[in-house]
């Protein structure tokens, strides 16, 4: 069994840069309920998926040099050492830690809270058509390559599959007609080509931000999914923003939550820690596939239209 000090340190500094943020919240609540000296520090970095995300100080892991909790700035490494010394050497701690801190180094701001917000302002998502899978993105990628290269890579496809693929690439057939061959196509593509796939986001506006707003906590979503590939559906959702000056949608904190199947679902989304400016558009982002979860079964889903409706609760400070 791990000793209690290791447990304190292991989960004392948590981040919202991956889905373990939720685990950090659960562990924090559990240890606090059992009388542990526990503080949840939320920062912008953490475990990193290279080469999709920018490398940190340790290539596959990064942390912010300075933490901002309320009006206090603290050196991250000094804070860690102070905590260790206060436990190992029984020295008085030099830093006074909040119960929960959401630190945002990009703006040198942060929030000290007594607990992690969950849910919040409610926004409705009207019936919206989305497409599971990444077959359309595969077709876009293959269309950018010489036809001889494509056919050479996929020469093991059945003759009917080669014929259908050629028609799709020529614009003479719908990509959905490749549904029966999607799994074979993805399996046959070289890894170097799969790595070039990008996931186009579908941005569903929730609200136009009227004033500077801080998002901090765990969003919740109640959603209903129909159609598509039925129980075989896999969609990826997250919160996104379009800046007031315009541009492409940005995935907040670079995180998505996989959602499978159909029917009604009540889910806790991946935690957020971000700032929105007046004029920004806040929305729900839906992907048919995402490179964070680049596995064949998800990518090869036929792009059959699914419909979602939802109510999204966003933690706004």
DSSP string of 60-94?
A: SB---SEEEETTEEEEHHHHHHHHHHHHHS-PPPS
When pLDDT is averaged across residues 186-199 and rounded to a whole number, the result is 72
Q: Which CATH number does the domain housing residue 253 bear?
A: 2.60.120.260
The total domain count for the chain is: 3
Residue 163: CB partners within 8 Å, gap ≥ 6?
A: none
Closest-CA residue to 216 (of 49, 43, 28): 43
Shared domain check, 299 and 183: no
Q: Is the pLDDT of residue 6 over 70?
A: no
Shared domain check, 258 and 173: no
Tokens at 289, concatenated: 């596939």
Query: CA-CA distances (angstroms) from residue 248 to 20, 51, 109, 203, 215?
Result: 27, 21, 25, 9, 20
Q: How confident is the model at residue 188 (pLDDT cuts 50, 70, 90)?
A: confident
Shared domain check, 184 and 61: no
Shared domain check, 211 and 79: no
pLDDT of residue 57: 61
Say what percent of the chain tops pLDDT 90: 48
Shared domain check, 141 and 128: no
Q: Is the pLDDT of residue 17 over 70?
A: no
Shared domain check, 237 and 153: no
Q: How confident is the model at residue 156 (pLDDT cuts 50, 70, 90)?
A: confident
pLDDT of residue 49: 65
When pLDDT is averaged across residues 262-284 and rounded to a whole number, the result is 96
Q: Is the pLDDT of residue 1 over 60?
A: no
The answer to whether 149 and 135 have CB atoms below 8 angstroms apart is no
When pLDDT is averaged across residues 85-107 and rounded to a whole number, the result is 92
pLDDT of residue 292: 80
Shared domain check, 145 and 280: no
Shared domain check, 171 and 26: no
Between CA 283 and CA 314 the distance in angstroms is 10
Q: Is the pLDDT of residue 179 over 90?
A: no
Say what percent of the chain tops pLDDT 70: 86
Paired residues of 224 in beta bridges: 264, 309
Q: Among 78, 113, 148, identify where a domain stops.
A: 113
Shared domain check, 242 and 129: yes
What pTM was estimated for this model as a whole? 0.80
Shared domain check, 125 and 270: yes
When pLDDT is averaged across residues 203-211 and rounded to a whole number, the result is 97
When pLDDT is averaged across residues 276-286 and rounded to a whole number, the result is 97
Instruction: Identify the domain containing residue 165 by its residue range.
Output: 135-194
Shared domain check, 309 and 218: yes
3-state secondary structure 204-272: EEEEECCCCEEEEEECEEEEEEEECCHHHCEEEEEEEEECCCCCCCEEHHHCCEEEECCEEEEEECCCE
Between CA 159 and CA 185 the distance in angstroms is 13
Between CA 77 and CA 83 the distance in angstroms is 10
Shared domain check, 148 and 126: no
The answer to whether 317 and 115 have CB atoms below 8 angstroms apart is no
């Amino acid at each position: 069994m791990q000793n209690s000090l290791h447990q304190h340190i292991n989960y004392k500094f948590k981040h919202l840069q991956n889905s373990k943020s939720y685990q950090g919240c659960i562990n924090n609540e559990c240890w606090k309920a059992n009388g542990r000296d526990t503080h949840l520090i939320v920062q912008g970095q953490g475990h990193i998926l290279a080469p999709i995300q920018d490398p940190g100080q340790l290539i596959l892991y990064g942390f912010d040099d300075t933490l901002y909790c309320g009006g206090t700035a603290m050196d991250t490494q000094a804070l860690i050492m102070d905590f260790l010394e206060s436990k190992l050497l029984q020295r008085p701690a030099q830093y006074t830690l909040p119960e929960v801190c959401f630190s945002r180094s990009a703006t040198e701001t942060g929030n000290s809270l007594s607990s992690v917000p969950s849910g919040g302002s409610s926004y409705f998502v009207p019936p919206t058509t989305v497409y599971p899978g990444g077959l359309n993105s595969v077709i876009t990628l293959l269309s950018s390559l010489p036809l001889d290269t494509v056919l050479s890579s996929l020469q093991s496809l059945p003759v009917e599959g080669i014929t259908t693929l050629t028609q799709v690439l020529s614009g003479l057939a719908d990509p959905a007609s490749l549904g029966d061959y999607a799994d074979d196509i993805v399996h046959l593509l070289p890894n170097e080509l799969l790595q070039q796939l990008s996931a186009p986001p579908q941005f569903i506006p929730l609200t136009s931000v009227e004033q500077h707003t801080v998002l901090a906590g765990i969003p919740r979503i109640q959603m209903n999914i129909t159609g598509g590939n039925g129980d075989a559906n896999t969609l990826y959702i997250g919160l996104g923003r379009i800046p007031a000056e315009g541009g492409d949608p940005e995935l907040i904190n670079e995180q998505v939550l996989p959602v499978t199947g159909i029917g009604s679902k009540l889910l806790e989304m991946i935690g957020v820690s971000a700032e929105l400016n007046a004029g920004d558009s806040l929305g729900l982002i839906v992907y048919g596939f995402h490179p964070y979860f680049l596995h064949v079964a998800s990518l090869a889903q036929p792009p059959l239209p699914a419909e979602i409706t939802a109510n999204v609760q966003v933690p706004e400070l």
